[in-house]
Amino acid sequence: GENVEQHPSTLSVQEGDSAVIKCTYSDSASNYFPWYKQELGKRPQLIIDIRSNVGEKKDQRIAVTLNKTAKHFSLHITETQPEDSAVYFCAASRGTGTASKLTFGTGTRLQVTL
Amino acid sequence: NAGVTQTPKFRVLKTGQSMTLLCAQDMNHEYMYWYRQDPGMGLRLIHYSVGEGTTAKGEVPDGYNVSRLKKQNFLLGLESAAPSQTSVYFCASSYGLAGTKIDTQYFGPGTRLTVL
């Protein structure tokens, strides 16, 4: 089955700096890669996703890049703010039907300090 | 539109007791999922369903059973609870059909279960 590895497990940045979280996946048939943000005691919420036919996607301060050849994808957060502090999870899936199940990374705890 | 809801929010069980967690969604989603979240291990899929009346095993199905008798509901059962099942349980759902957001999974608020 799919295996998703995520690094680093913890990340501390100063407000205004950039943060990068990296994930690798094992299943070359995976074609959907979402990123979820989970604040303390809350549910995971989708912040951005990318599909295998796209190399990069951006939404304001958040961007995701995908390298299918190397089987890795990354989350980039620019101009970090205290409200970006949370745990971030990457995930991968092969598509729809029984293949729609997501395999998650183990999470990155991002701390944005003032 | 409540989205995905879960009942109960918290529960404490003794070893060997049984219980059922209820997940409900009002978005007419085809697919529903149950995950457990443990510290340092991310979210792991227990069981999932790709339509009413169907279920399939995920990554960690042992000790759990599920049922999807109605499209909007997905039940997770623990027949004989064990301390290893102490966790936070999240339900999620997604469209599963052709559309612009077919893959996006929407999560419920979670159920914190402690087994003593």
Q: What is the pLDDT of residue B41?
A: 81
CB contact, 8 Å: B6 with chain A?
A: no
Q: What is the pLDDT of residue B102?
A: 60
Q: Give mean pLDDT, residues B51-64.
A: 94
**Chain A interface, best mutation among B103, B104, B111, B112, by max A CB count within 10 A:** B103
Chain A positions in Cβ-Cβ contact with residue B110 (cut-off 8 Å): 43
In this complex, do A43 and B110 lie within 8 Å of one another by their Cβ atoms? yes
Helix (H, G, I), strand (E, B) or coil at A89: strand
Which residues make Cβ contacts (< 8 Å) with residue B29, sequence separation at least 6?
B93, B94, B95, B96, B106
Share above pLDDT 70 across residues of chain A, in percent, rounded to a whole number: 96
Chain B positions in Cβ-Cβ contact with residue A105 (cut-off 8 Å): 42
Q: Please tell me which of the candidates A6, A46, A103 has its beta carbon nearest to residue B104.
A: A46
In the block, which residue shows the tokens 């879960």? B6
pLDDT in tens, A37-55: 999 999 999 999 998 888 9
Give the type of residue at A20: V
Structure token digits, residue A33: 């890669």
C-alpha to C-alpha distances, B78 to A45, A73, A92, B64, nearest whole angstrom = 26, 36, 28, 5
Whether residue B71 has pLDDT greater than 90: yes
**B39 — pLDDT class (breaks 50, 70, 90):** confident
Average model confidence (pLDDT) across chain A: 93
**A97 — pLDDT class (breaks 50, 70, 90):** low
Helix (H, G, I), strand (E, B) or coil at B75: strand
**B99 — pLDDT class (breaks 50, 70, 90):** very low
Strand partners, A23: A6, A73
Give the type of residue at B116: L
